[in-house]
Structure 1
């Protein structure tokens, strides 16, 4: 006795499986975005030591932002940081020194806040598309993260302090300088952690597609 398969039935099964996989993938993305937004919130509380004349505090916020981008990629990294900023905007005390509200986005540290989602997106893009399979190398991830910090976070942070305090570019740059040493240390830890995670989960940056 031979068995035959009905092509129509097989196609129906595949059609049903595809949406299930898509739903599962979307649920995972949402969970990761929410989890990393919470991580950034927690890291914003650690340290919070004001430095320089601008009074912008040093925290582990930047570490969490860059780690988010390097691990989640450009889109999910951007959304996770945007969610974090949204939580602060509606009044949850998730920013440095337990601050919150829309007023924070016009203060001395506003430039850094605006830079965070852009920096996460750029770091994620570099790790995913430029580093590629080499993202298991801490040195490569370090270069990607530092590039995003140099091109986005520091320039926007400096611009924010210049506009808020109405000082010269040189003065604003002077206030930003103390953050560089801390950023190098935080970038090192970001690279070490991200490289290990990508080694353990090589498909973390790849969106699963139904076939």
Structure 2
């Protein structure tokens, strides 16, 4: 139990730290940041439940006003900005990423984590982000989805990086991956 709480807090902190990496501002109010990598890693390393809880803790801290989002943003105002869908979708994205890796236990960790990051960390996150952008920017879903295409190359890179990092963890410290350890799989 204590290990789970520590890992959940650690990944919430990792996502916050990734917010320190300078963002790349886009003209429509949603920046390119490294924080989505933290969301992908939380789900891929911790699994669905723990990963989702880690990201939910991060979002809760942001809602309380801690300036943890890229650019030092935090507080309830974030939930009225074009990034609202992404922020709300973070925990769901981590959960789905974790769910994919848990269901693909017999697949090499690089592949299951990379695929989980694509499904959860890109498709699910974009679904939430697109709806949020459409509402706040008063655009159609198609227009908002087209704006999101600017993020695809970077997010595919983050998904690949997630797969590589999880494969390295599986090889060096498999006990860090509860879903992997439970599968009995060896590299």
Q: Same fold (TM over 0.5)?
A: yes
Task: State how far apart, in whole Å, the 2-side matches of 1:38 and 1:124 are.
Answer: 18
2:46 is matched with 72
CA contact (8 A) 2:43 2:97 kept: yes
* Structure 1 position 147, deviation (Å): 1.2
Larger Rg: 1
Pick the aligned partner of 1:142 from 102, 105, 114.
Answer: 114
* Structure 1 position 207, deviation (Å): 10
Query: Moved runs in structure 1, 4+ residues, more than 3 A?
Result: none
1:164 is matched with 136
CA contact (8 A) 1:127 1:135 kept: no
SS of the residue 1:98 aligns to: coil
Task: State how far apart, in whole Å, the 1-side matches of 2:107 and 2:133 are.
Answer: 36
The change in CA–CA distance for 1:135 and 1:27 in structure 2 (over 3 A counts) is farther
TM-score, normalisation: structure 2 = 0.90
After TM superposition, the structure 1 = structure 2 runs for residues 89-100 of structure 1, keeping only pairs within 5 Å, are: 89-100=63-74
Q: Which has the higher strand share?
A: 1
Compute the RMSD of aligned alpha carbons. Answer: 1.9
Task: State how far apart, in whole Å, the 2-side matches of 1:172 and 1:45 are.
Answer: 26
Q: Which runs of 5+ in 1 are unaligned?
A: 1-25
SS of the residue 1:132 aligns to: coil
Q: Which runs of 5+ in 2 are unaligned?
A: 182-187
Task: State how far apart, in whole Å, the 2-side matches of 1:134 and 1:64 are.
Answer: 22
TM-score, normalisation: structure 1 = 0.80
2:11 is matched with 36
